[in-house]
Structure 1
Amino acid sequence: MVHVKGASSGKAFQRFTTLDIVLMAMLAAANAVMTVFLSPLNQALNGLGGPILTSTITGLYMIYGLLAYYIIRKPGTALITYGIGAVVQAFMGTAYGILSCFVAAACYLVIVEGAFALVRYKKWSWPMLMVTGGAMVPVWFFFAAQMFGYTKWGMDILLIALVVRVLSGMVLCGLLVKLLGDALAGSGLLRRFAAGRRMEA
């Protein structure tokens, strides 16, 4: 079992169950497969509208870790999920380079873990998820700009792309996580997870 400190329960420590780990691994693997299909879409959007249009799908790359957190609701969920995701993507291969997998994962998990720690793991509303989804973008955007040469776009394009990516993170990551999570919880598939138990309460 993996042990992490749990602020939302009355216990000193919470345990990640085997089911938790399986879910995190499944979402990480699904993300790696989705990324393979998103790469040609990203290239097509780049050809049609350059960096601005490609920025519209940014949120989809981040969704798996936040969805795992929303379902499991235990500190450390983002660390494990994004970590597994980075390793899986590295093994599967990526058009953006292996280093980008780990740097992006690190940027995402720091923001997500920090955001839910600030609210003591008690807020799971759509505003909280949308703010978190948007907040995940800027740190990785800074590193990506250095790694992939975004700085040659010019400051005006950089700022527009950043705004579009933040909005994409809010909608295609944050809001979509809320919709997917609640739909799964309502179906009864998440009875053994915190999101499912909260729905039944």
Structure 2
Amino acid sequence: MKQWRLKEIVVMSALSVVFAVVYLAFLPVGKILAGLFGPIGYDLIFGIWFIVSIIAAYIIRKPGAAFLSETIAATVEVLLGNAIGPMLIISGIIQGLGAESAFALTRYKYYNLQVLMLAGIMAALFSFVWGYFTSGFAALTSSYVFAMLLTRMISGALIAGLLGKWLSDALAKTGVLSSFALGKEKRRKHAA
């Protein structure tokens, strides 16, 4: 296994803190959507809460990046005052494991759009199973629960996977990631 460099740890941690703030900022949006559409409203944007795991893994490309970044983000979010409290850290761990599983399936060799979208889908799937048992989804009709799951998976693919890739690529274009795996890949492609 490749050793982590200090700058990779620092960047992953910084991304986690930034996205902890983003995650908190999206809670009111989720509440508004849930008020308008019911529980499925949160699922429309649930991918935002997985995005740091995809971005960190895509930039750093080391085992554990998705899991650790999501866990750190959840921990920081709790420290910043998320009302859910420490249970949110467990949610972050589960979401991070979901995203991490997609990269592990490829043995950490592929970081293309399909794998990033799969990571978002897997984070959605893992989080949904957790949510099913902790959020009372069993009281809903099975067709509604399936619609929630499908919506969350699409959100994970598009918001976490597609948007995460786009944001990372845009950041790489600035040159600030030139010494990271993503920056090196972009340089090689540009030189070819």
TM-score w.r.t. structure 2 length?
0.91
Unmatched 5+ stretches in structure 2: none
Question: 5 Å matches for 1:4-83?
Answer: 5=1, 14-83=2-71
> Is 1:109 matched up with 2:96?
yes
Alignment correspondent of 2:176: 189
Q: Is the 8 A contact 1:103 1:140 kept in 2?
A: no
Output the CA distance in 1 between the equivalents of 2:107 and 2:129: 28
Output the CA distance in 1 between the equivalents of 2:101 and 2:35: 36
Output the CA distance in 1 between the equivalents of 2:119 and 2:24: 25
Which shows bigger deviation, 145-154 or 176-185? 145-154
Deviation string, structure 1 residues 130-177 (Cα, Å, up to 9, x no partner): 122112112211211221222222212111011000000000001111
> Is 1:175 matched up with 2:174?
no
SS in 2 for 1:163: helix
Amino acid at match of 2:14: M
Note the C-alpha offset of 1:197.
0.4
Give me the identity figure in percent.
Answer: 33
Q: Is the 8 A contact 2:78 2:84 kept in 1?
A: no
Output the CA distance in 2 between the equivalents of 1:29 and 1:35: 10
Task: State the number of aligned residues.
Answer: 188
> Is 1:136 matched up with 2:129?
no
Aligned-pair Cα RMSD in Å: 1.4
TM-score w.r.t. structure 1 length?
0.87
Output the CA distance in 1 between the equivalents of 2:177 and 2:125: 32
Q: Is the 8 A contact 1:27 1:65 kept in 2?
A: no
